Amino acid sequence: MHAEYKKKDKLLLLKIEEEIDHHSSEKIRKRADYEIQIHIPKKVIFDFNKVTFMDSSGIGMLIGRYKLISMLRWKNKYD
């Protein structure tokens, strides 16, 4: 997975270029969590342009990242 961070807009772009199944979603989740926790972006964009297949574990991975970002945003708002 390729990740780009744009400091000016606090934007994290995660480009995924593989099929997303049970095994690959765990690898993507770990990398996305790492990038999100380091940069604490205001916006995260997942680019699925080159993904040819995604099962329900990929959808779960995406929802989990949404929850992580929401939690970090709430925590930073009240710190």
Mean pLDDT to the nearest integer, 60-68:
95
| Residue 79 resides in a domain | no
CATH number of the CATH domain containing 48? 3.30.750.24
pLDDT tens digit string along 11-36?
A: 999 999 989 999 999 999 999 999 99
- 55, 20 contact by CB (below 8 A): yes
Is residue 57 in a domain?
A: yes
Could you give the number of structural domains in the chain?
1
pLDDT of residue 78: 66
Range of the domain at 29: 2-74
Residue 6 lies in a domain: yes
| Mean pLDDT in residue range 43-62 | 95
Concatenate the DSSP letters of all residues of the chain into one string.
-EEEEETTTTEEEEE--S-B-HHHHHHHHHHHHHHHHHH--SEEEEE-TT---B-HHHHHHHHHHHHHHHHHHHHHH--
Identify whether 38 is part of a domain: yes
**1-10 tens-digit pLDDT:** 888 899 988 9
